[in-house]
Amino acid sequence: MAKVYKDLREFLATLDQEGQLLRITDEVMPEPSIGAAGRAATRMSNGPAVYFEKIAGYKNPLVTNAHGSWQNHALMMGMDKDTPVKEQFFELNRRWDKYPCDPVIVDRAQASCKENVIESDINLFDVLPLYRINDQDGGFFLSKASVITYDRDEPDNLGKVNVGTYRIQVKDVDTIGIQALPFHDIAIQLAKYERRNEPMPIAVTLGNVPLITFMASTPIAYDQSEYSFAGALQDGVPVEITPADTDPHLLVPATSEVVLEGYIKPRVRTCEGPFGEFPGSYSGARNQCEIKITHITHRTNPIFENLYLGMPWTEIDYLMALNTSVPMFKQLHNEGFPEVTAVNAMYTHGIGTIIAVKPRFGGFAKAAAMRFLSTPHGMAYGKLVILVDDFVDPFNLEQVMWALTTRVLPSKDVNLIHNAAGMPLDPSSYPAGMTTKLIIDATTPVAPEPNPRPVALVADPEGTEEWAKTLAEISAALGK
Amino acid sequence: MNCPRCDSPKTRVMTKSPVGDVWEVYVCDVCAYSWRSTEDPKVWPTFKLKPEQIPNLDVIPAIAPLDPDVSV
């Protein structure tokens, strides 16, 4: 049984024990220190979390980059921190099949997120050490919240309780803006309230068990439960949730550090942004939704968890890497293409995707690419698709480059699909949301496609695996 | 004090530091830009806004039409 964390604090304790958390004990100014440290941490080979104990003018501490490395990602899953990415991918696939593992609803008295309550004179700055993440952001943003909403027409349907990550700008001491893009689940729910001109109940939760945060940014079907997936990814250990104080249908993680409760103002849009976004560029100002916060609960001495995002890779890339790859793999492998052996959809949330496939006949790999490009996520995000043979590790970019350089005849293997759907935040899409899809088939030709110059692959010399173990043992001994 | 982004004079103190008298945060009531007194905001020309541009910014997501039996 893999290690499972009951709250963010247990996860941080493990990161600390494993040398994956750095404590900053000196007082820092919020700008530019916190954003800069988050940026710098992601460039370190071990990508540690950074915990700020004292932030000038604020009461509470902050942690950033908690998910920001493959080591931390492995520890999130309770695995050895040195687990290779491909092994993490297959372990996530194994646990994925444990869905649904429904959450346990606990009483208010058992929920640590209720330790403190603020019902009047709401001021987010009293609870959260807010800061500007990137210099040209239009304000202070929450970049790592798990936002809870439900379906107005089916309030008791757990599958339609949505847990999502959206960018949130602090507009006032009790008012925040939120970006609900039309293809996000929250926008489907919002439309139902706005047709009735009713406020939409919402809870913004911060500092959660790491696999809830992970699932909040995972693309799954509208009627699938992020909580039931989080339990599955905890290897079958359910997560604990509890009703929000202001609305019993808003089910929030029981151990959140902070829960902001309130409502989206119906039919209101106000100026929001710019914000340095995950493609590594700013998205400009737009008129977006606004939330009034009416009630806060929080743990004693709450830890504000937030992330840096900018030019990849940053912490956010780890929260849309394997959790984009696994559902894409499932939708191909389990639904018509068992010949797809792995999917690496880690590049800018799947805008760039590498599919490993064992083609059965000529043109087969290209068909797998088109299948990916017609999944709900691949349709909007997928732009650059590379197909490699099944014996190429799609998570090993050196192997992928080998396939591109030795398997691609550009005149026949590079294909463009014009005037297709795209991701509006991709600055190369034009107009925003329209793009050209690129499919590069780097698999070995299979009949009836001609392969006029077949090659004999060079195999590893006999004894390579044994030598790998021997050399690793010598290296480890030297390290001691 | 004018807004660093839209130059509107309609700015105010949003809040003061909860601990000590370390900083204040200001906000523009026209474009919602906010900044801390310890910052020296230099908004790039591409992100400057004129107040009259704000109503014409993209609306995300589009506002659904009201059901026939509902009025604002």
One domain for residues A302 and A336: no
Query: What average pLDDT does the segment B7-24 reach?
Result: 98
One domain for residues A327 and A253: no
One domain for residues A311 and A285: yes
Number of separate domains in chain A? 2
- Give the range of the structural domain holding residue A427, as residue numbers without chain letter: 321-442
pLDDT tens string A48-65: 999 999 999 999 999 999
Asked if residue A128 is part of any domain, the answer here is yes
Give pLDDT, residue A480. Answer: 63
One domain for residues A16 and A158: yes
pLDDT band at A479 (very low <50, low <70, confident <90, very high): confident
One domain for residues A157 and A283: yes
CATH assignment at residue A436:
3.40.1670.10
Phi-psi region of A46 (alpha: psi -120 to 50; beta: other; left: phi over 0): alpha
One domain for residues A280 and A345: no
Asked if residue A447 is part of any domain, the answer here is no
**Cross-chain residue pair A58–B33, CB shorter than 8 Å:** no
Shortest Cα distance from B53 to chain A (angstroms)?
10
Closest CA to A323 of A185, A226, A240, A251: A226
B33 part of contact set with chain A, CB < 8 Å? yes
One domain for residues A407 and A290: no
Asked if residue A395 is part of any domain, the answer here is yes
One domain for residues A185 and A325: no
pLDDT tens string B33-69: 999 999 999 999 999 999 999 999 999 999 999 999 9
Mean pLDDT lowest for which of A14-23, A301-310, A423-432? Answer: A423-432
Asked if residue A15 is part of any domain, the answer here is yes
One domain for residues A222 and A130: yes
Cα separation, A144 vs A278, whole angstroms = 12
Query: What average pLDDT does the segment A193-207 reach?
Result: 98
pLDDT band at A450 (very low <50, low <70, confident <90, very high): very high
pLDDT tens string A409-420: 999 999 999 999
Residues of A noted as catalytic: 277
Query: What average pLDDT does the segment A164-190 reach?
Result: 95
Q: What share of chain A is helix, strand, coil (3-state, %, to 5)?
A: 30, 25, 45
**Cross-chain residue pair A57–B23, CB shorter than 8 Å:** yes
One domain for residues A118 and A48: yes
Closest CA to A282 of A273, A269, A272, A295: A273
Asked if residue A255 is part of any domain, the answer here is yes
pLDDT tens string A106-126: 999 999 999 999 999 999 999
CATH assignment at residue A24:
2.30.110.10
B8 part of contact set with chain A, CB < 8 Å? no
The pLDDT of residue A349 is above 70? yes
Which residue, A317, A332, A357, sits at the end of a domain?
A317
**Cross-chain residue pair A272–B58, CB shorter than 8 Å:** no
What kind and span of H or E run contains A86?
A: helix A85-96
Asked if residue A480 is part of any domain, the answer here is no
Residue A151 in tokens:
């379906």
Give pLDDT, residue A167. Answer: 97
The pLDDT of residue A1 is above 80? no
Phi/psi of residue A262, nearest 5 degrees: 175, -150
Asked if residue A448 is part of any domain, the answer here is no
Q: Which residues of A touch B14 (CB under 8 A)?
A: 172-173
Asked if residue A462 is part of any domain, the answer here is no
The pLDDT of residue A331 is above 70? yes
Q: Are A155 and B28 in contact (CB under 8 A)?
A: no
One domain for residues A366 and A415: yes
Query: What average pLDDT does the segment A169-194 reach?
Result: 95
pLDDT tens string A140-155: 999 999 999 999 999 9
One domain for residues A24 and A68: yes
